[in-house]
């Protein structure tokens, strides 16, 4: 299983499944990250937290803990 945390800078991946529940999953979905959406990794901080993404034309920062809950392909 590959998660968003494993994606490299410049790579574009597609969301396969979201894990987590309650407010954590809701926060991820509120950012527009849902199944089938393409995510482009723009930049990753030196320690991997946060990751900066392009999602549906918007730039977002995602915490490493949240990135581990997003399965991609």
15-50 tens-digit pLDDT: 999 998 899 899 999 999 999 999 999 999 888 788
| Cβ atoms of residues 62 and 56 within 8 Å | no
Measure the CA–CA gap between 67 and 62, rounded to whole angstroms. 6
Query: What pairs with residue 61 in β-bridges?
Result: 52
Identify the pLDDT of residue 47: 81
Look over the chain and give the mean of its residue pLDDT values, rounded to a whole number.
Answer: 92
Enter the pTM of the model.
0.88
If phi > 0 it is left, if psi is from -120 to 50 it is alpha, else beta; for residue 46 that is alpha
Identify the pLDDT of residue 42: 94
Identify the pLDDT of residue 6: 92
* Percentage of the chain modeled with pLDDT above 70: 100
Distance between start and end Cα atoms, the chain: 9
């Amino acid at each position: 299983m590959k998660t968003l945390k494993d994606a490299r800078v410049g790579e574009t991946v597609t969301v396969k499944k979201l894990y987590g529940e309650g407010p954590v999953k809701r926060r991820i979905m509120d950012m527009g990250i849902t199944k089938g959406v393409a995510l482009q990794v723009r930049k990753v901080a030196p320690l991997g937290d946060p990751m900066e993404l392009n999602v549906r034309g918007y730039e977002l920062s995602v915490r490493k803990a949240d990135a581990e809950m997003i399965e991609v392909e």
